[in-house]
Amino acid sequence: MKKDSLAQELRMEIIVGAFMVFVLIGLGYFTIILSGEKWFGPKNFVEVRFKDVMGLKEGDSVVVRGMPVGKVKSLTLEPSPVYCVRVTAVLDQPVAVRTGYKITVVATSVLGGRYLQVDEGPEANPKLPEGTIFEGQQPYDLVGDASETINAVKQGLIQGGVISNLQSMTAQFNEIATRMNAGKGLLGKLFSEDETLYNDISAAVTSLKNITARLDKGEGTLGKLLSSDDKMYKDLSDAAASLKNISASIERGEGLLGKLIKDDSLYEKVTSAIDEVRATVDDYRETAPVVTFTSIFFGAL
């Protein structure tokens, strides 16, 4: 009995131990897969010095032409000769860095996250030797730049008087709203509970409606002009035709008015007759005193 019990316990311990070993192997495998690092094979180390890494940390990706090729291994603050941060990155494959390269820290989003971006430089430039300590560029701080921009805009709004103008406009709108609530002004009367203006507008609309109805029935002069009966139109057309004929007759020099306008000789005759009448009147005015005296003298005898 004891031997069977010990054998059973031994089997259970072996099974549990084997299960734990498999679990550890699985954890190790998935750790290697998820880390994205090559645990076997040659390693390529790259060292870069930055004045500011803007939150770059160990384990962040190294990207070349948009493709991850390694991880940041370590970051070390070096106080001499000048304060800087030495970044050591491990690459899965060698990268040929040439003169004219650019290495910078790039933000993945405004919420956080960084990666090391490597631009190898123009292909025509000579390659730099292995072991070169590269100089990184100053990274762009999106949050910091956005904060500076917002502060600059805020200062511009304050100094330019925009905020004070907005406050003044708001006060004016409040005053207008107060006047409207009090029923002052045209809009205030429109929105007030007093129905006087509403009744006046309603009466005006009714009057306009009556006028429109009269026009539609053809009543009144304007109604007759707008009605479907074309008698007045024909009368006006006939009158216009008559005026046109008269104008044409005058233009041709027919009739007295036409001759006065077209015939210069008639104009001269009329002018001469007027002159003769004027002369006769003048002669009469001169002889009138003598005739009057003679009439009085012989009348007395």
Q: Could you tell me the pLDDT band of residue 293, with boundaries at 50, 70 and 90? A: very low
Looking at the structure, do residues 71 and 15 belong to the same domain, yes or no?
A: no
Looking at residues 123-130, what average pLDDT do you find? 90
Whether 206 is in a domain gets the answer: no
Give domain status of residue 255, yes or no: yes
Give the percent of the chain with pLDDT over 90. 16
**117 or 267: which carries more pLDDT confidence?**
117
| pLDDT of 86 | 92
Q: What does the pLDDT read at residue 181?
A: 75
Considering the domain architecture, whether residues 244 and 283 belong to the same structural domain is answered as: yes
Write a three-state SS string for the chain: CHHHHHHHHHHHHHHHHHHHHHHHHHHHHHHHHHHCCCCCCCCEEEEEEECCCCCCCCCCEEEECCEEEEEEEEEEEECCCCCEEEEEEEECCCCCCECCCEEEEEECCCCCCEEEEEECCCCCCCECCCCCEEECCCCCCHHHHHHHHHHHHHHHHHHCCHHHHHHHHHHHHHHHHHHHHCCCHHHHHHHCCCCHHHHHHHHHHHHHHHHHHHHHHCCHHHHHHHCCCCHHHHHHHHHHHHHHHHHHHHHHCCHHHHHHHHCHHHHHHHHHHHHHHHHHHHHHHHHHHHHHHHHHHHHHC
Whether residues 65 and 138 share a domain: the answer is yes
Asked if residue 195 belongs to a domain, the reply is no
Name the more confident of 240 and 103: 103
pLDDT at site 82: 76
Residue 135 belongs to some domain of the structure: yes
* Same domain assignment for residues 4 and 50: no
Average pLDDT taken over every residue of the chain: 77
What is the extent of the structural domain holding 107?
A: 44-144
Q: For 236-270, what is each residue's pLDDT tens digit?
A: 777 888 888 887 777 777 776 666 666 667 667 77
Same domain (yes/no): 59, 137:
yes
Asked, for residue 24, whether it belongs to a domain, the answer is yes
The residue-averaged pLDDT of 177-194 equals 71
Q: What is the pLDDT of residue 1?
A: 55
Mean pLDDT of the region 184-189: 69
Residue 163 lies inside a defined structural domain of this protein: no
Question: How much is the average pLDDT of 21-38?
Answer: 70
As for how many domains the chain has, the answer is: 3
Range with top average pLDDT, 58-72, 164-178, 179-193: 58-72
pTM of the model: 0.41
Query: Considering the domain boundaries, does residue 285 fall inside one?
Result: yes
